[in-house]
Amino acid sequence: MTENLGLAFDATLAMLLVWASAQATSRDLFRAVVMFIVLGLLASLAWLRLGAPDLAMTEAAVGAGLTGVLLLDTLGRLRWKRQKRGGPQ
Amino acid sequence: MSTPAFAAALVPALVWIPLSLGALSFVLGRAASPWLVLPGLLATAGVVPALLPLAAPGGIAAYHLGGWMPPLGIAWRLDGLSAIMLAITAIVSAGVGIFASSMMNRMDRQSEWFWPLLLLLIAGLNALFLTRDLFNAYVTLEIVSLAAVALVTITGTSAPIVAGMRYLLAALAGSLSYLLAVALLYARYGTLDFDLLATVMQDDPIGMLALALATAGLFIKSALFPLHVWLPPAHGSAPAPVSAMLSALVVKAGFYLLLRLWFEVFAALDSLAAARVLIGLCGAGAVVWGSMLALCQQRLKPLLAYSTVAQLGYLLLLFPLAEVVSAWQGTLILVCAHGTAKAAMFLAAGIILRAYGHDRIIAIGGAARGVPLTTFALGLAGVSLIGLPPSGGFAAKWLLLVAAFESGRWWWSFVPLGGGLLAAGYVFIILARAFEAPSADTGDFAQVPRVAELAALALALVSFMLGFAGNAVAIGLDSAIAEMTRS
Amino acid sequence: MTRGAADILVSLLATALAAGLVWSAVHLPAAPGLAGLVERNLEASGVESAVTAVLLNFRAYDTLLEIGVLLLAVIGALSLHPGEELSPAATEALSSGPEPSPMLMWFVPYMVPVAFVIAGYLWWAGSTIPGGAFQGGTVLGAALVLLLLSGRKFSIRPEAVATRLWLSGGLLFFLAAGAVPMVTGDAVLQWSEEWSGITIVLIEAGLTLSIGGCLAALVVGVPAHPPERALRGRRP
Amino acid sequence: MTGHSLIYAIAGALMVGIGLRALFLQAHLLTKIIAANVTASGTFLVLVGVAPFNGGAHPDPVPQAMVLTGIVISVSITAYALALLRRLYDVTGATDLPEERRK
């Protein structure tokens, strides 16, 4: 029973990972960045399931956290400057 | 360790010195470059001759980092092939270092970043040429790629930034492809060591997929035709000493790892004959395509960059001819001859750029009179690039021709012959212009440090003289080649 | 080649690669792996956590080079800092971008000390249970980013020698410690059995600090102006 | 627990395909950088997912160490790539490469 539950969880998580990957590489930039952060959190869960707590910690802090902040900041700056360039001087 | 303790103790210096000096020169900033960096760089280069005895026949040195034997630990080995790559790295980086320190204003913003990046690049190259571990090779490749891209973008102007971005994305795709191969091989065999893998390698689809992935990744990293498109803009727009390092050494790093994989790790696989021919055809394509585009260029540095694409093609001829010893000799001499010649030519291009403010080929008339040593260096290196006797390029191409006939597949000889003609074309374009009288749009002449000219000339001389030393080098290499062609 | 053809070709190649990888994953025969070998040598490694033993003893050289990559990225990012002539979007401080939210401002004073404690704990715990320099370093980096985000009186000044020593200190100490065994004729990075535990803990301390600093420096970039100026009057 | 690692290896393989496709086909550089990261995550899942395990309670620590190294390398390169993207935008006003520009 627990075995089956685990299998179902793993299969769902795997599907979510693939889905989030597809979303993270779509053309809508904001959604892509947000979904990349979600992907980091999902991957962190996957590492736990794979018996790798070291990787889970690092993935959550780096993959979702720092990379996410970096991507959001870059996106914000690109948009902010575009508005400034496009707008009246 | 079965080697003289003194020499073995020097091996880590090849990585430790440039790595720590790279970090230190970052800490100390501009103040450090004159007295710390260049001596350190030359010291690193100076270690190599002391190590050569280790690479001599019978003296193949294994070094176990951390004292752990593979498969648990990581091993280094210094054999003939490593020794050649380390030697050419030492020679070119010494020349580039001397050139850059004489040309670069110490107060330039760039100089603050150039030296740490250059030293870390050298550390990465040396580390790659020593390692016997698949995953460790991945880490060294990342050092080399990241340092190379950062050096390309160092001026911060638009052309190199765009070129650097393209280079970085290509390098990323390449390393991930390589890393997938590492994952498959570790999963299949449970070890990352070249030698252990070679003994257990099976001819199965998983191994084939791994080899294909690694090869594709390294083709991108080394800009081997047809995955070369990122190279010309990057090498053409980077500062001259950077282009010299890139064309002479960085693109050879991926090629070196290809040799290790195809002729050591996967050497026992018989089913690769057709793939080897395919790689040879890629080489032929590179020679034709790169040379043709080189002929079309208006500026000196892009011309040299396309010439690099072409010259890398000759190296791939080794794959279909590898069972012949002279193919190995020719390829290894070509690695050295092209490395030194191309570095010399990029440095010369940098001098012309400094002297005249541009590198438009049509307007470099008077260079022969204004910067005669530089023009002489261009000529000498050009002779080696074409492959005229008695240059190193000649020795290399001659050996490749011999290999083609010895193997009975004489048609491969068209590649070096035709490529030589095309190279003669583009080298002649440069030299003919340089010997013309100065024209109205040549521009004002600015003085160039003599030391910089001498550095370029010295590298060109090495490339030229390799033809005389060629035989000695080839004989010295026999053990390495025997090692690689054993199976 | 037209764009449509390129699309199809790339999609086909990507699909083929994914299919090949799936096939390989399914058909891989079981290989022995190195888990057993690591376990047998764990006692000699000086730490109890297998992952830490691999990272800082058996394959410490990988880790050494990897810190080199991190430092390289920092140097590369700093080198992109424009002079006075250009607008500084490439590297200006994160904190000079959008205004920090009140929520964040409330959160940070509680969060940062906790994060520092966690970072310290992870470093210390790494030798026995999951955790270590990377995990500690990344948490430290995240804490520093939070601190910078909130616009407290804290900034990373990359032109200062002290900052640079902080960012590259982990690598330099690792290199120095790695060279020490050569004195007795051992290989580099060959920790003597009695000292290996303490050596690894010390190296991890240096790495934790440097990794945290490097990650924070990469995220916040170089302040184009002193952060105080950029932030003055923004605080609610 | 590790018995299900194959599921994650398959997910990783699909992520690699998705990531590589986007890396080559998407024009916006930010998407390309994210795509490279997705590919890297997929590669890491493959690395640990297919890693050999000898049936014991302990998963093989060597692939985990490799992935830890890989994650740090990947965040380093990403951070540098984003700095480069900002600089590129600063200098040229573009967020894509000239040859991939869609009109």
The distance of C141 to chain A (nearest Cα, Å) reads: 8
- What span, in angstroms and rounded, lies between the C-alpha atoms of C218 and D82? 10
Interface of B with D in 24-63 (CB under 8 A): none
Q: What is the pLDDT of residues D13-49, one digit of tens each?
A: 999 999 999 999 999 999 999 999 999 999 999 999 9
pLDDT tens across the length of chain C (236 residues): 577 888 899 999 999 999 999 999 999 887 778 888 998 999 888 888 899 999 999 999 999 999 999 999 999 998 887 654 444 444 444 444 445 556 656 666 677 777 777 777 777 777 667 767 878 888 888 788 777 766 655 667 788 889 999 999 999 999 999 999 998 888 999 998 888 889 999 999 999 999 999 988 887 765 443 333 333 333 33
- What span, in angstroms and rounded, lies between the C-alpha atoms of C199 and C216? 26
Which positions ≥6 away from C94 have C-beta within 8 Å? A69, A73, C145, C148, C149, C219, C220, C221
Which positions ≥6 away from B431 have C-beta within 8 Å? B375, B378, B379, B382
Contact B169 D85 (CB under 8 A): no
- What span, in angstroms and rounded, lies between the C-alpha atoms of D72 and A26? 25
Q: Which two tokens stand for residue D102?
A: 């869609």
Q: Closest chain C residue to A58 measured between Cα atoms?
A: C135
Contact C89 D69 (CB under 8 A): no
Q: Closest chain A residue to D22 measured between Cα atoms?
A: A25
Of D46, D80, D81, the CB nearest to B183: D46
Length reported for chain B: 487
Contact D43 B187 (CB under 8 A): no
Which positions ≥6 away from B204 have C-beta within 8 Å? none
Contact C21 D25 (CB under 8 A): no
Whether C39 has its CB under 8 Å from any CB of chain D: the answer is: yes
Whether C189 has its CB under 8 Å from any CB of chain D: the answer is: no
Tracing tokens 């191309």 back to the chain, one arrives at: B342
Residue B110: CB atoms within 10 Å: 16
Whether A30 has its CB under 8 Å from any CB of chain C: the answer is: no
Task: Identify the CA nearest to C145 among candidates B165, A65, B271, B195.
Answer: A65
Mutate to test the interface with B, among D50, D76, D85, D89 (most CBs of B within 10 A): D50
Instruction: Give the angle subtended at the CA of B117 by the CAs of B116 and B121, to the nearest 5°.
Output: 120
Mutate to test the interface with D, among C17, C21, C51 (most CBs of D within 10 A): C21
Query: Amino acid letter at C224?
Result: A
The distance of A81 to chain C (nearest Cα, Å) reads: 8
Longest Cα–Cα distance in chain D: 57
**Three-state DSSP class for A88?**
coil
Contact C219 A62 (CB under 8 A): no
Which residue(s) pair with B63 in the sheet?
A: B76
Longest Cα–Cα distance in chain B: 68
Which chain D residues are closer than 8 Å to C87 by Cβ? 90
Stretch D73-99: mean pLDDT: 91
Q: What is the pLDDT of residues A29-84, one digit of tens each?
A: 999 999 999 999 999 999 999 988 889 988 888 877 888 888 988 888 787 665 55
- What span, in angstroms and rounded, lies between the C-alpha atoms of C81 and C74? 11
Asked whether at least 3 C-beta pairs link B and A within 8 Å, the reply is no
Q: What is the ipTM of this complex?
A: 0.94
Tracing tokens 């068209």 back to the chain, one arrives at: B414
Residue C81: per-residue pLDDT:
75
Residue B212: per-residue pLDDT:
96
Of D19, D31, D44, the CB nearest to A21: D19
Residues of chain B whose pLDDT is less than 50? Answer: 1-3, 487
Longest Cα–Cα distance in chain A: 67
Query: Amino acid letter at B321?
Result: L
Whether B187 has its CB under 8 Å from any CB of chain D: the answer is: yes
Residue C117: per-residue pLDDT:
79
Say which DSSP state B322 is in.
T
Q: What is the pLDDT of residues C57-106, one digit of tens each?
A: 999 999 999 999 999 999 999 888 765 444 444 444 444 444 555 665 66
Q: Quick one: which H or E segment has residue B75?
A: strand B74-78
Tracing tokens 């401002």 back to the chain, one arrives at: C105
**3-state SS, one letter per residue, for chain B:** CCCCHHHHHHCCHHHHHHHHHHHHHHHHHHHHHHHHHHHHHHHHHHHHHHHHHHHCCCCCEEEEECCCCCCCCEEEEECHHHHHHHHHHHHHHHHHHHHHHHHCCCCCHHHHHHHHHHHHHHHHHHHHHHECEHHHHHHHHHHHHHHHHHHHHHHCCHHHHHHHHHHHHHHHHHHHHHHHHHHHHHHHHCCCEHHHHHHHCCCCHHHHHHHHHHHHHHHHHCCCCCCCCCHHHHHHHCCHHHHHHHHHHHHHHHHHHHHHHHHHHCCCCHHHHHHHHHHHHHHHHHHHHHHHHHHHCCEHHHHHHHHHHHHHHHHHCHHHHCCCHHHHHHHHHHHHHHHHHHHHHHHHHHHHHHHHCCCEHHHCCCHHHHCHHHHHHHHHHHHHHHCCCCCHHHHHHHHHHHHHHHCCCHHHHHHHHHHHHHHHHHHHHHHHHHHCCCCHHHCCCCCCCHHHHHHHHHHHHHHHHHHHHHHHHHHHHHHHHHHHHCC
Which chain A residues are closer than 8 Å to D7 by Cβ? 7, 10-11, 14
Alpha-carbon torsion, ordered C217, C222, C226, C229, to 10 deg: -100
Task: Identify the CA nearest to B148 among candidates B173, B169, B172, B120.
Answer: B120
Instruction: Give the angle subtended at the CA of B462 by the CAs of B393 and B395, to the nearest 5°.
Output: 25
Which chain D residues are closer than 8 Å to A62 by Cβ? 71-72, 75
